[in-house]
Every structure is written in structure tokens, then in C-alpha cells.
Amino acid sequence: MSCTTEALVVDSAGADPQLKTVSLGPLQDKEVLVEIHATGICHTDIACMEGKLPAEFPSILGHEGAGVVLNVGQNVSDVQVGDKVLISYSFCGNCPQCTSEHPAYCQNMVQMNFGGKRLDGTRTISLPNDPTRDVFANFFGQSSLSRIALVNQSSLVPVPASTPLELFAPLGCGLQTGAGAILNTLKVKPGSSVAVFGAGCVGLSAIMAAKVRKAEIIVAVDLQPARLELAKELGATHTFLGTDPNLAERIRELREPGMDFALDCSGAPAVIETMIDCLGIRGRGASVGAPAPGRKVGVDVFAHLTMGKEYVGCHQGDSTPREMIPSLIQQNEKGMFPLEKMVEYYDVRNYPQAFEDMKKGRVIKPVLRWF
């Protein structure tokens, strides 16, 4: 059975989203219909809207949804109508990466999250006034910039009825990415040193996770002094402006010969090179910031080799959402992961302001309220 709803539709690369009526197709066996109560806006959404990351148009994006289950497909048994859910990325559950508990690296990751349609090639959303036109949707298995979303079962994280959906909606991507990079990919240890480049949502999440992990030195680097102040409040022990001409040297001086761990959240090649440069002996660095495909960085191979440095990619913090997201909620309840300090709420009718504030860096994590 199909239904209509309102969604934010982007008609072409660089165009502003518009709230329009759309049609959701019938549920497949492993899909769920969710009434969206809140959606976090992520830089990945904006990059896709601007044509900097893979997307087609018209498109319906959104991948940090939270809501209540309205209907379930025939083969869905782990959620039922009325359940509260947070929504994360989608994965197949059957490939070697999924079965070895690394679903963030699912062999079908790109197709299931950036393909714009189901794996079988069918579309999930159409435009009532132009039903034959292809709509790029099924984004991260959800396209949750919509009042009702058709969601892949794998994207769902059931949560207790008492869970504040609007607060925890951003856990679906940015926050679990930053925290997971520290906890799962870098495996930051108590007493160690870590530098985080970029104090946006992902970077601040990483800083909070480093504090949870009891790192001794936590460095935050950003271009905005206000964000560095918030980074201090959330756990950073040292802060630096990214414009410092001697940045890598100053960071290395905090614990010679350099940092044990480092994380880039910017995706800027020059920043990644600085991040690698600040690592010490057997230091381990990771990238979570996503540049446009084809961008490359330079590495001093001799220094990398003789110091035993490591540099790895990190997607979604190598997190299993049904494990990571409840864990972060628990940390928030303990006061150890105060994500409320970076969230700003907007009524969905005020979505232009939310996107503008995000693009201009006025807010860290805008969240749209649909009700």
C-alpha cells in the first residue's frame, strides 16, 4: 500500500530544498514505515545537495532520522507498530564484512546508502505530479528528511519508549562516527594522547569519547575560537587554531615525539597531511571527513616507515548501530556524553534557516522537528 507525505526535495545540484508532497511506494518484506519526529542535518546531506558527493536529482536525503513505527513489512519481526526507533546507515547483513561484525564496511555499502534506490533497482519514492520521473531516495536506507520515511530494516535501532527522539536523532551518523573512530578504529587507550582536527559534530563527539576513554592529552584543532571553547568544555585539554603555521610542531611538543592517536574530521588534504605529521612513533591516525572522490594526500613515506605510523580510513566509526547507539545513550545519561550542548532545534517549516546556519557554521548540529 502506497502513501503520500511531505519531504524536502532537492531538484538540482546546488538548489535549495523545497518542502513538497511525495509518494512512498509499497513496503517490501524487510522494510518499515516510520513517522519521523526529528531529523539531524549532516554535512554529508549538504555535500550531496551541492553535488560534491554522489547523488542524482531530484533527491530526498536525510540520514539521521528518529521516529515511531507506523507499519512493518512481512519479514520484519524485531520492531512493531508503535515502537520508537533511531535510524542509521543500511547494510546487507550477509557479506563477509557484515558477518564479521563490521557492517560499516558492507560490500554493498555504496549501493545501499548512496545508490538512490533499492538493491533490486526499484525506487522507494516518486513525485505525484511526475510519477515516471526517477527520484534519488533510499538514502542511507531511510531518506529521513521526510515526515514519513520508508526504511530498510537494517537501519533501525529500537529504543525505549522514554527516549527523547529529537535529542538522539543525530546519533545515527555524525555522533556515532566520531565516537566510534576513537573507540573502535583508533582504540584510544587510557593515559594516551590524541589530536582531533575539526571541532564540529563529529570532532566534538570524538573528544567526548576520548574523555570517556580517559585519554590524558586531548587536543582540539579548529578555525573557530568558539568551537575550541566548547571543545574544552567537552573534554579537550589543549586547543589550537588551525591557522597556526607551526601547528604540527606545537602538537608534537605536548608529548614528544608526537601524538599516539589523531583523527581528521575535515576531509581537507592539507589538514590530513598535518594530522599525519603530528603523529609520534607507532602513532595511528584516521580520516572520517569525506572529501570529494579522487582527492589525494601526500605522505613522507620514509618518516612513515621508520616511525611505524599508521593511517587508516574510518566509515561510521566502524560501529554496529544497535550496539554503539544504546551505549552512547547510556553515556549521555551518566553525563559523560552531553550531546545536548551541540544541538539546535528548528521547526521543519524553518528548514531554510537550519540549512543556512549549518553552512555558515553558526550551529554544530541542527535538528529538524517534524511535530
Residue 2's pLDDT band (cuts 50, 70, 90): confident
Query: pLDDT of 130-166, one tens digit each?
Result: 888 999 999 999 999 999 999 999 999 999 999 999 9
Question: What DSSP string runs through 231-255?
Answer: HHHHT-SEEEETT-TTHHHHHHHHS
Residues sharing a CB contact under 8 Å with residue 315, sequence separation 6 or more, in sequence order: 104, 105, 109, 177, 288
Q: Which three cell numbers stand for residue 71?
A: 507499519
In this structure, the number of other CB atoms found within 10 A of the CB of residue 301 comes to 8
Nearest to 157 by CA among 332, 339, 319: 319
pLDDT, mean of residues 7-25: 97
Q: Decide if pLDDT at 1 tops 90.
A: no
pLDDT at residue 284, rounded to an integer: 99
Q: Which three cell numbers stand for residue 289?
A: 571527513
In this structure, the number of other CB atoms found within 10 A of the CB of residue 145 comes to 31
pLDDT > 90 fraction of the chain, expressed in percent and rounded: 96
pLDDT > 70 fraction of the chain, expressed in percent and rounded: 100
Q: Map out the domains of the chain as residue ranges.
A: 3-172+338-369, 177-316
pLDDT at residue 120, rounded to an integer: 96
Instruction: Give the predicted TM-score (pTM) of the model.
Output: 0.97
Whole-number Å distance between alpha carbons of 118 and 129 = 22
Residue 291's pLDDT band (cuts 50, 70, 90): confident
- CATH class of segment(s) 3-172+338-369: alpha beta
Contact 143, 115 (CB under 8 A): no
Mean pLDDT (the chain) is 97
List 12's β-bridge partners, or say none: none
pLDDT, mean of residues 20-25: 97
Whole-number Å distance between alpha carbons of 44 and 58 = 16
Sign of the alpha-carbon torsion through 102, 104, 105, 106: positive
Whole-number Å distance between alpha carbons of 332 and 352 = 29
Whole-number Å distance between alpha carbons of 312 and 298 = 14
Angle at 69 between CA 68 and CA 74, to 5 degrees: 170
Name the more confident of 2 and 47: 47
Query: pLDDT of 204-237, one tens digit each?
Result: 999 999 999 999 999 999 999 999 999 999 999 9
For the domain covering 177-316, report its CATH number.
Answer: 3.40.50.720
Query: pLDDT of 69-83, one tens digit each?
Result: 999 999 999 999 999
pLDDT at residue 293, rounded to an integer: 86
Phi/psi-derived region of residue 358, left when phi > 0, alpha when psi is between -120 and 50, beta in every other case: alpha
List 150's β-bridge partners, or say none: 33
Query: pLDDT of 317-351, one tens digit each?
Result: 999 999 999 999 999 999 999 999 999 999 999 99
